[in-house]
Amino acid sequence: MIGVRRAVTVTVTLVALMSGVVGATPPAAVAGPLAGSTWCQHRDSMAIFGGSSSTGYLTSGYTRTDGTYQATTYGWWKQVSEFAATNWGTTSHNYARNRASFGSYLPGGQWPVTRNAVAELGEVQPDLLFLSLGANEYLAQRDPAEMEANMRAVVDAVKEASPRTAIMAIVQQTAYAGPAPTYSWERYKQRIMQVVIDEQLAMADLRQSVPSAYGTDWKLWYHPDRIHMLDTTHMTFAAGVRPWLFFC
């Protein structure tokens, strides 16, 4: 895969620099983790594997009954994909599904939109794929090692189906998994980062853009379930993702 096989130190350093940066364009003098990738050369298409934060669930106007993506006004993916389309004519493909985990994108996954996503990605051959997953494993308190193994399997399958596709993992905000979860969201994040390092991917940590649902001001950011983001929070999330589209 061209461009995502960057030096690990570059990827990790840039993750640290960009965590929480909202609306900024990265300095052109700094080589980004996507440098040299097909995305940086063309920006023709991008795609996403994700859960309910990526479908637009509970944003104003979301009415889908099958749990798949709907392009609502405030959904962060709608905002980011429109931004890319306006600037570069980028087409977007959303394979997210409410309650999806990494395992959902492997053979035998629960829903057609997820278990067929890798095969469809092979046909679409996008320049960039976002992996915005892991939160549902955390909410269900599944073993982080299992999540890591499934993430590796998904990444390997994507690389085989579409070698040209650059991959960026998104570390989502800290949702509420009960008063004293056995596994913290940080534990899952560390597993995600290990795959990013080993597979030489890119990673965007959005936890500093969107405050934790364990904070005292969580009502400003989340629905009453303390899991799903409000419309305004989706806007903040989108602002945190957009700079990474320039990070070449």
The answer to whether residues 164 and 30 touch, using CB atoms and an 8 Å cutoff, is no
- Say which DSSP state 241 is in: H
Phi, psi of 129 (to 5 degrees): -125, 125
The model's pLDDT over 107-127, given as tens digits with 9 standing for 90+, comes to 999 999 999 999 999 999 999
CB atoms closer than 10 angstroms to residue 123: 8
The answer to whether residues 248 and 29 touch, using CB atoms and an 8 Å cutoff, is no
Helix axes 117-124, 144-161, angle to 10 degrees: 30
The model's pLDDT over 61-99, given as tens digits with 9 standing for 90+, comes to 999 999 999 999 999 999 999 999 999 999 999 999 999
- Say which DSSP state 93 is in: E
pLDDT (0 to 100) of residue 21: 36
pTM: 0.88
Q: Mean pLDDT across the chain, nearest whole number?
A: 89
Q: Is 174 helix (H, G, I), strand (E, B) or coil?
A: coil
The model's pLDDT over 144-195, given as tens digits with 9 standing for 90+, comes to 999 999 999 999 999 999 999 999 999 999 999 999 999 999 999 999 999 9
d(CA 233, CA 175): 13
The answer to whether residues 150 and 101 touch, using CB atoms and an 8 Å cutoff, is yes
- Please give the single-letter amino acid code of residue 91: T
pLDDT-based confidence at residue 208 (cuts at 50, 70, 90): confident
d(CA 49, CA 117): 8
Per CATH, the architecture of 8-246 is what?
3-Layer(aba) Sandwich (3.40)
Task: For residue 140, give the H/E element and its range.
Answer: none
The answer to whether residues 246 and 232 touch, using CB atoms and an 8 Å cutoff, is no
d(CA 120, CA 156): 15
d(CA 244, CA 182): 32
